[in-house]
Amino acid sequence: MAHQVTIKDLARHLNVSVATISRALRDMPEIKPETRQAVLQLAKEWDYQPNILATSLVKSRTKTIGVIVPDLAYHFFASVIKGIEAEAIARGYSLLLTQTSELYERELINVQNLSRGQVEGFIISLSQETVDLDHLKRLQRKGIPLVFFDRDAQELDVSKVMVDNVGAAYEATKHLIDNGCKRIAFLAGPQSVTVSNQRLEGYGNALKDHGMLVEDELILHGEYALSKAVAITHHLLNLENRPDGLIVVSDRLAVGAISALKARNIKIPDEVAVVSFNDEPICTVITPTLSSVAQPTLDIGRNATSLLIDEIEDAAGTFKPEIQILKTQLIVRESSQRLK
């Protein structure tokens, strides 16, 4: 036959009901042996393949995970997804993948659509706009498992796979101090994003521990947009006492910062040293090469998926949410390494 064979095709050819075909294929005892044999023989001849999704829906099992990230164009999220997919496939699951483009409304719609698609659980990194968590609390009330990575909601008692953002930012800031920076600025993300706030905390801790002031005029928040990073950097350079070091919350924004520094003929790292986060491939191809904090992205994805599937398959109902904090590594390159 030209199209994929269905139960209806088998039923029409054998002049029996769809229910009879279904029962015969499932070897139900009420079906006569000769009818069962005829159904199985025709199914074999026509290469009938059962609709796995429909079958799993009847059993309330789709073995499908919903994944929601802010932006698939970010290397960080793309790399985490590789880890998610590898673990999901290894354990017999598939993915439905969506992005929010950093918009709360799109995150809300994605959660609603994936829920209607019968996903068994969610792995989510929140959009930069997300403050209202009602859509996620509804998932919890329905008993749908949820795991956060990178950007989380601290008030929700769910599993999370994060990195030590406070410690990573502390190390990055200390590196700039050790390289002679006396006035270090922090280019942060939106104040609603926990990962940015954690990095800001680590930056402040490092300054205090080294006898340096945490100055409000050197801490600027902005959206995850290149143009915003350029504007903030120009603002910092216009200060009467401008910074000689810059911690940037992500590599994408650091590219904008470096562009602004070059436009003002600022020597990097001699006049302003720069460190950022994520260690994306662009760090090694821009000039100067960019110092950045590398994260174990594949492990983040694998671990988040493992936690989610463990909860999905917890028939006994004994699963307890787990928070995993993974280690990072500062990769020092030209943008921050001053010659001594």
**CATH number assigned to the domain comprising residue 111:** 3.40.50.2300
- Residue 186 has φ and ψ, to the nearest 5°, of -130, 120
Asked if the bond preceding 296 is cis, omega within 30° of 0, the reply is no
**Do 145 and 100 sit in the same domain of this protein?**
yes
221 and 264 together in one domain:
yes
Is the CB of residue 291 less than 8 Å from the CB of residue 274? yes
Residue type, 23: R
- Within this chain, do residues 156 and 228 fall inside the same structural domain, yes or no? no
The counts of H helices and E strands in the chain are 12, 12
pLDDT at site 298: 97
The verdict on residue 309 lying in a domain is yes
Q: What is the pLDDT of residue 305?
A: 98
57 assigned to some structural domain:
no
Q: Is the pLDDT of residue 55 over 70?
A: no
Structural domain includes residue 56: no
Region of poorest pLDDT, from 46-55, 226-235, 319-328: 46-55
58, pLDDT greater than 80: no
The reply to whether 128 and 68 lie within a common domain is yes
Please report, for residues 188, 208, 334, the alpha-carbon distance to residue 198 in angstroms, rounded to integers and kept in the order given. 10, 16, 25
Q: How many domains does the chain have?
A: 3
Whether residue 209 contacts residue 167, with contact meaning beta carbons closer than 8 Å, is answered with no
CATH of residue 17? 1.10.260.40
Residue 201 has pLDDT above 80, yes or no: yes
Q: Are 222 and 265 found together in one domain?
A: yes
Q: Kindly report, residue by residue over 143-163, the tens digit of the pLDDT.
A: 899 999 999 998 899 999 999
Residue 69 in any domain: the answer is yes
Quote the pLDDT of residue 329.
98
Assign 194 to helix, strand or coil: helix
Torsion of CA 182, 233, 261, 255, to 10 degrees: 110
Residue 28 lies in a domain: yes
**What global pTM score does this model have?**
0.79
Residue 2 counted as domain residue: no
The Cα 223–Cα 253 span in angstroms is: 9
Q: What is the pLDDT of residue 52?
A: 53
Do 194 and 279 share a structural domain?
Answer: yes
Say yes or no: 229 and 157 in one domain.
Answer: no
Tell whether 303 and 156 lie within a shared domain. yes
Asked whether residue 242 falls in the same domain as residue 189, the answer is yes
Residues 221 and 319 in one domain: no
User: Is 196 within a domain?
Assistant: yes
Instruction: Specify if 55 maps to a domain.
Output: no
CA 278 to chain centre: 12
Q: Which domain covers residue 21, as residue numbers?
A: 7-50
Shared domain check, 223 and 308: no
Whether the per-residue pLDDT at 57 is higher than 60: the answer is no
The pLDDT-based confidence of 2 (bands split at 50, 70, 90) is very low
Task: Check pLDDT > 90 for residue 185.
Answer: yes
Cα separation, 179 vs 244, in Å, equals: 11
Question: 7 pLDDT band (50/70/90 cuts)?
Answer: confident
* Residue 3 CA to its chain's centroid (Å): 38
On whether both 141 and 256 belong to a single domain, the answer is no
Q: What is the pLDDT of residues 72-131, one digit of tens each?
A: 999 999 999 999 999 999 999 999 999 999 999 999 999 999 988 789 999 999 999 999
